[in-house]
Structure 1
């Protein structure tokens, strides 16, 4: 009887400990807004598999958009991996100059020119607008994958 209780309890304890442990992965480096930033000595920077470029922009509200301020960036994603890359407007977030993170899902379909849901083959790129609700100054844009693992971060120009 005790053996039947100990085995499941041990398994549950092992699962809790395994999921609570850190993976030890380093955070994704922020790509500079200026292509030449950090390369003044002529050396190439660390290669990235997903290249992001972001610039502040204004977006025209869609017919589905509600009243309220939006802060937006125009983002270009370039797949530099050897396999396909899924891109979706839900995979993006914007961090403002005060460190507050704004999810793109809060303003989904509220504006025109939104980043399309697509799959990029190696070497392909996609451009679209990502917005967050509220009036703020965008500083960094981040992109995750389908499993919500961060793929790329870039400064907003």
Structure 2
């Protein structure tokens, strides 16, 4: 069955959108938990989690939303200034923090529209590069980022101190 077309618009979030953003972020955490069981599923609704998003909305970055014609929020993307590694040639870099499209809205270019809106924001703010961290097992997200001209430049590995524990 073909999906009905959406009229989709993107817009910056405001403080009144916080509850909807936290609900989407909780869904993202539950989804990503399959790839990274160390994720704290309670973080989103903690003071740190809600404070992070409120700060992104009000002062230190951006939260962009995608809405349908009925103003239902279909997804969101957040980002801000990244800490650029001191051992690299300096450039102003943005970090894409979180990116989620509601499962019922996937396959309708919502993610592409959100990403394009984020690129426009980064360009407007004068960033030269964008970085993103992705769980290694999330091949769908990795393919999306590669399709949008991201390239691998670091590989972060971890292990427990004691090989027989989960540490």
**TM-score when scaled to structure 2?**
0.30
More strand by share: 1
Ranked by relative contact order (alpha carbons within 8 Å, sequence separation 6 or more), the top structure is 1
Bigger Rg, which one: 1
Question: Greater share of helix residues, 1 or 2?
Answer: 2
Q: TM-score, normalised by structure 1?
A: 0.31
